[in-house]
Amino acid sequence: MSDYRFLKACWGEPVDRTPVWLMRQAGRYLPQYMAVRSKVSFLELCKTPELAAEVTIQPIDYLGADAAILFSDILTPVEPMGLKLDFAPGPVFESPVRTQADIDALRIPVMEEDVPYVLETIRILRREFEGRVPLIGFGGAPFTLACYMVEGKGSKDFAQIKRMMYSAPESYASLMEKITEMDRQYLNAQIAAGAQAIQIFDTWGGIVSPGDYEKYILPYTTKLIEGLNRTGVPIIHFVKGAGTMLDLVKRAGSDVVGLDWHIGLGKARNLLGTEVAVQGNLDPTILYAPPEHIEREVKRILDENDGRPGHIFNLGHGILPTVPPEHAKFMVECVQRLSAKG
Ligand code: CP3
């Protein structure tokens, strides 16, 4: 069904009101998520399709969001490349990738065999959601995946990945090529299983200069997007911290550009032009503010968009675990009320 307002907005078509969903909308801020999560580890949750489907549905029921996002993690397909993964609670790879030999040892998973649970979760959700909301599949951008694989965990300065990038550029390139190919197959498998849109998360794409983004990151994301079976399936590309290089992000060729909150939505739209839609861009910490403040910020963003087609309302990054759930619900209601036509 292409009359879902979320999909229409992705294609830049007019809609009755602005569609809204929240990055990381399934998660720890919801007591109903914690109830499921208290019985299983995060990885078990990702690997059990019935449970992953259940927590995907929770924010649709509670918030009334206009799109659902598959419950999984960007690192799910990296484990079967040969890197043992734990969450403590952030992701940890026991043996990070540091040498050319480590890169050569990585395998490209066979998706139906190595991550069948992801594809099964998508199939369950498509049956559950038919006629209600569209389902977004997702993956990490090659660079953000490389950051975790090389650092072994989150990082403040990303010294290891940058060291590889600048001092062993051939190794860096071979790692990025391999991840890009894995990602291409992984996202195409999600599309084949029924994902109706794909979001590529480049959480760490903004940690380099624009020149280095163009040289070391953009070619791989561009190749990934070119390799997707994207007919009828909009691609959303979110690069956190990319406000100063949206022209480059646009060149990767997505249908929708995700925006964090460091650039005004109006300014971003003027820079990006009319060919791409945008998604964003409320600072996630605004959800700690009282309702009047939340409403004011929602209105400001809608005003900045100024009625242009092709806007999907979202946060500028994932919802934080300590946000009151009723504030998230109120934010969704504000978007729905304030953007309704007529
Ligand atoms: O958006 C959704 O509701 C779908 C599920 C989803 C998760 N992770 C579930 C999750 C999505 C889309 C992601 C993407 C993801 N994972 C990103 C890109 C987006 C972003 O937030 O920057 C990144 C960088 C990761 C890696 C990751 N996974 C980190 C850094 C962490 C720990 C941070 C934290 O929130 O504690 C995770 C764990 C994780 N992924 C949780 C959830 C619900 C928390 C796990 C738990 O229940 O303990």
Q: Is 235 helix (H, G, I), strand (E, B) or coil?
A: strand
- Cα separation values, 280 from 256, 257, 259, Å: 10, 9, 5
306 is catalytic: no
Pocket probe mutation, ligand 1, options 45, 73, 207, 238, max atoms within 8 Å of Cβ: 73
Please identify, by atom number, the ligand 1 atom nearest to the C-alpha of residue 24: 1
Instruction: Report DSSP state, residue 105.
Output: H
Class of the CATH domain delimited by 5-339: alpha beta
- Cα separation values, 226 from 45, 71, 136, 211, 251, Å: 31, 25, 18, 22, 11
29 is catalytic: no
- Judge contact between 136 and 198, C-beta under 8 A: yes
Residue 46 in this model has a pLDDT that exceeds 60: yes
For residue 24, how far is its CA from the centre of ligand 1 (angstroms)? 7
Mean pLDDT computed over every residue of the chain: 97
ω into residue 281 within 30 of 0, thus cis? yes
Q: Is the CB of 90 under 6 A from ligand 1?
A: yes
**For residue 169, what are the contacts with CB-CB under 8 A and spacing of at least 6?**
none
Q: Is the CB of 320 under 6 A from ligand 1?
A: no
- Pairing between β-strand 256-258 and β-strand 235-239 as defined by DSSP bridges: parallel
Q: What is the pLDDT of residues 189-247, one digit of tens each?
A: 999 999 999 999 999 999 999 999 999 999 999 999 999 999 999 999 999 999 999 99
Write down the catalytic residue from 33, 148, 186, 220. 148
CA quadruple 39, 41, 47, 53: dihedral positive or negative? Answer: positive
Write down the catalytic residue from 66, 73, 114, 255. 73
Average pLDDT over residues 307-312: 97
Residue 2 in this model has a pLDDT that exceeds 70: no
- pLDDT for 1: 47
Q: What is the pLDDT of residues 84-132, one digit of tens each?
A: 999 998 999 999 999 999 999 999 999 999 999 999 999 999 999 999 9
The ipTM, to two decimals, is 0.94
Side-chain-facing half-sphere of 316: CA atoms under 13 Å: 22
What confidence category does residue 341 fall into, taking pLDDT thresholds of 50, 70 and 90? confident
Side-chain-facing half-sphere of 108: CA atoms under 13 Å: 12
- pLDDT for 342: 62
The tokens for 48 are 């059990």
Instruction: Report DSSP state, residue 197.
Output: E
Q: What is the pLDDT of residues 245-297, one digit of tens each?
A: 999 999 999 999 999 999 999 999 999 999 999 999 999 999 999 999 999 99
Q: What is the pLDDT of residues 137-183, one digit of tens each?
A: 999 999 999 999 999 999 999 999 999 999 999 999 999 999 999 99
28 is catalytic: yes
